[in-house]
């Protein structure tokens, strides 16, 4: 895709006509390596960037994912989330905002241990300076863009346009680079900002959910309390 090559080698990009550029195959990891910010909307499954090995294995076993995790690229990207604010510009910190539906987090990928590990991993990521998590409560009702999963990648260089990545569970990727193509997805982000829980409440939701999965007695009590209410 062109935006990735432009980000890697802007001088070469400026010397040639964009329409004449050879269409090389770039993976999402290749483009992510050049991005400064990701806004990920997850309405089906959690994105590879934040998956645990157990979660990914359960997806592969079920046929919902085709390959194992690319651990090298995943860890490289996650290391960029740990860069402090004072070093952010120098060390190219990656900022990630993950907006995920409650349905995804209650999706039952693998057994309760797999999901508990995954939720606790998200809690740990939530403590990093470059990571923000917001959960869309299952009771919010319909909203614009409901059920759509996508990633917006942004770049530090102002002359590099944002790009929207649409992907399937089996790795098919569609890149949207034109402003008119990206506009509906930016509108979705505005709609989600109105309906998603605040970051603090989202982390509390994760903590409570992981405790329920770890403690069957606690889970039973919560179910009983809900039935009585």
The percentage of residues in the chain with a pLDDT greater than 90, rounded to a whole number, is 54
Reported as a pLDDT band with limits 50, 70 and 90, residue 90 is low
Residues 6+ apart with CB under 8 A from 206: 105, 119, 120, 122, 123, 126, 133, 135
Q: Is residue 76 predicted with pLDDT exceeding 50?
A: yes
Residues 6+ apart with CB under 8 A from 30: 4
- Strand 131-136, strand 95-101: pairing: parallel
Reported as a pLDDT band with limits 50, 70 and 90, residue 169 is low
pLDDT digits (tens, 9 = 90+) for 48-67: 999 999 999 999 998 887 78
Which one of 3.30.70, 2.40.30, 3.30.870, 1.10.3470 gives the CATH number of domain 30-228?
3.30.870
pTM of the model: 0.81
Q: Is residue 115 predicted with pLDDT exceeding 90?
A: yes
């Amino acid at each position: 895709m062109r935006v990735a090559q432009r980000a890697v080698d802007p001088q070469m990009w400026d010397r040639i006509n964009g329409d004449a550029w050879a269409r090389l195959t770039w993976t999402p990891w290749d483009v992510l390596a050049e991005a400064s910010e990701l806004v990920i909307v997850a309405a089906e499954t959690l994105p590879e960037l934040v998956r645990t090995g157990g979660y990914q294995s359960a997806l592969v076993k079920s046929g919902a994912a085709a390959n194992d995790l690319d651990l090298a690229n995943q860890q490289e990207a996650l290391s960029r989330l740990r860069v402090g604010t004072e070093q952010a510009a120098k060390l190219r910190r990656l900022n990630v905002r993950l907006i995920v539906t409650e349905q995804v987090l209650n999706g039952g990928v693998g057994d309760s241990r797999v999901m508990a590990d995954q939720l606790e991993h998200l809690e740990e990521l939530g403590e990093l300076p470059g990571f923000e998590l917001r959960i869309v409560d299952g009771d919010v009702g319909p909203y614009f863009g409901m059920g759509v999963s996508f990633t917006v990648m942004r770049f530090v260089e102002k002359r590099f346009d944002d790009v929207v990545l649409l992907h399937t569970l089996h790795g098919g990727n569609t890149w949207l680079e034109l402003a008119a193509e990206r506009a509906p997805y930016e509108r979705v982000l505005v709609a989600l900002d109105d309906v998603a829980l605040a970051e603090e409440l989202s982390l509390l939701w994760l903590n409570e959910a992981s405790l329920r999965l770890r403690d069957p007695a606690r889970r039973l009590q919560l179910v009983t309390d809900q039935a009585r209410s």
